[in-house]
Amino acid sequence: MTYDPGNIFAKILRGELPAHCVYEDDRVVAFLDIMPRATGHVLVIPKAPSRNLLDVEPDDLAAVAAAAQRIARAQMDVFAADGITLTQHNEKAGGQEVFHLHVHVIPRHTGVELRAPLSYKEAPEVLAEQAARLKAALAG
């Protein structure tokens, strides 16, 4: 399996598509999922091209994990979450739809089920407001 630079997240990294970014460092970018499975659902991706867990460089994977932890802590506060779910899909059979490595970081509230994948598109103004709050929490 090879990396296709035409994937949606590669386009976001190149600035060819917009995203509601919440965090960036030298190895990682994180932005809100436009079809969130719960309020505040974030995707963390490495800047380096990698298809998924199977080909990512260990240092990039470690940077993604560290960013996911920072974001999870901020989400607990910003969204008054009771918990956090991480998911990560590899290849079509593993549920992957976008072929640039990404980790889903999803705030959870007791008794609230996740929405079905791709079942709900969030309004851009809602995403912008959530991104601003998360960004502020991550900067502080």
- 60 near 48, Cβ under 8 Å? yes
> Is there a contact between 50 and 57 (Cβ–Cβ < 8 Å)?
yes
Site for ligand AMP in 66-85 (CB under 6 A): none
Residue nearer to ligand AMP on the CB measure, 19 or 138: 19
Number of residues that bind ligand AMP (CB under 6 A): 13
Pick the binder of ligand AMP from 5, 83, 95, 124 (CB under 6 A): 95
Sign of the dihedral through C-alpha 92, 94, 99, 104: positive
Rounded to whole angstroms, how far apart are CA atoms 26 and 47? 8
* Catalytic residue, candidates 20, 41, 100, 102: 102
Residue span binding ligand AMP (CB under 6 A) among the ranges 28-36, 64-72, 77-85, 128-136: 28-36
> Minimum Å distance from CB 122 to ligand AMP?
9
- H or E stretch covering 126: helix 124-139
Nearer to ligand AMP, 66 or 98 (CB): 98
Q: How far is CA 78 from CA 8, 47, 82, 122, in A?
A: 27, 25, 11, 18
Which H/E stretch holds residue 95? Answer: none
Q: Indicate whether 98 belongs to the interface with ligand AMP (CB under 6 A).
A: yes
**Rounded distance, CA 99 to CA 139, Å?**
29
Instruction: Return the residue nearest ligand AMP (CB atom).
Output: 35
Q: Is 102 a catalytic residue?
A: yes
Contact flag: residue 35 with ligand AMP (CB under 6 A): yes
Q: Which residues of this protein are in contact with ligand AMP, per CB under 6 A? A: 8, 17, 19, 33-35, 43, 89, 95-98, 118
